[in-house]
Structure 1
Amino acid sequence: MSRGSNPEARMPLREHLREFRKRLMLAAAGIVVGMIVGWFLYQPVFEALQQPVLELAREQDADVKVNFAGVATALDMQLKVAAILGLVVSAPWWLYQLWAFVAPGLHRKEKRYTFGFLAAAVPLFFAGVAFAWLVFPNAIVILTGFTPEGAANFLDAQLFITFAMRLVLAFGLAFVFPVVMVALTWVGIVKTRVWLKGWRWAVFLIFLAAAILTPTPDAITMLFMAFPMVALYFAAIGIGALRERAVRRRAPAEPTEAPA
């Protein structure tokens, strides 16, 4: 990145792409390490995912099982679960790389907000993961409850585990999106008025995503997911507005500092 005295200087496109590649490779390396950890976590994670099925079979005397239909299905599932667990485990690392890609556009004293970004993004990501983990057992109970009496329900392992892990990842990313909104506003890429102007579409898309991602047919669970996301969306707008107001107030009094 060029470090001239001009505060409006921008990183040349070639350097911008080089920085993007660097951060992408660092993030990928962290995810690979997370995948190795995820490989060893597969067994306890699978047992935890299977627990609602076992409890349902025991409590209702139902013939419900997770079925591995193919010879290589178990290995394929372990690889897929390890990949998604790698994304979850390495979340603090790749979230940092996301911020580090944006940070060159900040001034020196603004880069101290890196800790604030991570302190907000990482807990929210894991909060979304935890929320999905709580929703999943309830989904299994409700959806398998439609099995006719006397029939067996053999859950395909591919669909069962892939659905569970994608649900976990989707909730985590949904909960961290407001922090990304704040970051984009913080560096001046997206103005607060843009987020506010599109709030109707945002609320609609949030409820649509909640309806798709929530595996239960009841509206209560969908609302339980959508309301926190809407609240986080408007909280992100509020934080961005406070930031823009603070910048406007100090602009006449403080000289603009060149980016680091």
Structure 2
Amino acid sequence: MFKKLTPDEKVTLMRHLEDLRRALLVSIIAIVIAAFASFYYSDQILAIIQKPLKDVGMGLSLVYIGVTEGFFVKMKLSLLAGLVIAFPVVAWELWSFIAPALYPQEKRYVYTLFPIILVLFVAGVLFAYFTLLKMVLAFMVYISGDLKPMITVDKYLSFVLTLTIPFGLVFELPVIVFFLTRIGILQASTLARNRKYALLAIFIVAAVLTPGPDPVSQTMMAVPVYLLYEISIWVAKLARPKNKGAVVETS
């Protein structure tokens, strides 16, 4: 059975719920306002997303086959842009809600790791956009042979998001390894000893996450992720708690 709350506990719980409601409300309002403002620049945003397709050549351009498809794609782009623009507000509201419950040492971890997490995510997305996206598009068009491509804007947007967002997430691997090593769950020797299994798992995950079934795009995703895995081994060595034994070799 649930424990009966004391009057003080009820007041504290209601205060936390009120703070959460306020944080959610402010975040949603910020996202909506930013999304509405972004709608007026949806054509420019779409032009940026189309640039890799234009760079492939062959006069490729996007089409839409549904009456409302073009409008809803612009709405989707506006919402995504709104999330990006309003992110500082959302992050601040989230931090204001959880900060009172953290110890000073935990706050220092957040101050240190959060900028790194943000930079790594942006780096992963930009890496996929400026390098992999164009190569994958060129390969997919080339392998289609004499078939004439008619790419719908909705499918293309989904393709771009499916390729870029996962890269932003997998670039967080060193941070995850650092955190798990600091709390004693993971060790550099464990990562080094399981390289071959990690490589197999990376290729399997790449096959699932890549938007196309071709081995080229899967390899393009798997290779950078494996390099991140190797970097994570050194991160684990540096993050090893000071009271542990000597650093193990990774070879």
TM-score interval, smaller chain:
0.5 to 0.7
CA drift of 1:231 comes to: 3.8
Residue equivalent to 1:170: 166
Counterpart-to-counterpart distance in 1, 2:189 and 2:21 = 29
Residue equivalent to 2:110: 114
Query: How many positions carry a matched residue from both structures?
Result: 227
- 1:244/1:194 Cα in 2 relative to 1: closer, same or farther (>3 Å)? closer
The sequence identity of aligned pairs, in percent, is 24
Moved more, 133-142 or 224-233: 224-233
Counterpart-to-counterpart distance in 1, 2:105 and 2:181 = 17
Aligned 1:224-243 pairs, distance under 5 A: 224-233=220-229, 235-236=231-232, 238-239=234-235, 242-243=238-239
CA drift of 1:68 comes to: 0.9
* Stretches of structure 1 lacking an aligned partner (at least 5 in a row): 1-13, 250-260
Residue equivalent to 1:138: 135
1:35 aligns with 2:29: no
- Which SS does the other structure have where 1:192 is aligned? coil
User: Do 2:120 and 2:172's aligned partners in 1 also have CA atoms closer than 8 Å?
Assistant: yes
CA drift of 1:238 comes to: 4.9
CA drift of 1:70 comes to: 1.4
Give TM-score, length-normalised by structure 1: 0.65
Give TM-score, length-normalised by structure 2: 0.66
* Stretches of structure 2 lacking an aligned partner (at least 5 in a row): 1-12, 246-251
- Which SS does the other structure have where 2:172 is aligned? helix
Counterpart-to-counterpart distance in 2, 1:78 and 1:117 = 34
Counterpart-to-counterpart distance in 1, 2:139 and 2:52 = 11
CA drift of 1:211 comes to: 3.0
Counterpart-to-counterpart distance in 2, 1:227 and 1:157 = 29
Counterpart-to-counterpart distance in 1, 2:237 and 2:117 = 19
> RMSD value over aligned CA atoms?
4.2
- 1:194/1:236 Cα in 2 relative to 1: closer, same or farther (>3 Å)? closer
Residue equivalent to 1:5: none
CA drift of 1:172 comes to: 1.2
User: Do 2:206 and 2:221's aligned partners in 1 also have CA atoms closer than 8 Å?
Assistant: yes
Aligned 1:54-203 pairs, distance under 5 A: 54-56=54-56, 59-60=57-58, 64-90=60-86, 107-134=103-130, 135-149=132-146, 151-183=147-179, 186=182, 188=183, 191-193=185-187, 196=190, 202-203=198-199
CA drift of 1:173 comes to: 1.8
- 1:212/1:44 Cα in 2 relative to 1: closer, same or farther (>3 Å)? farther
Q: Which amino acid aligns with 1:51?
A: K
User: Do 2:174 and 2:235's aligned partners in 1 also have CA atoms closer than 8 Å?
Assistant: no
Higher RCO structure (Cα 8 Å, ≥6 apart): 1
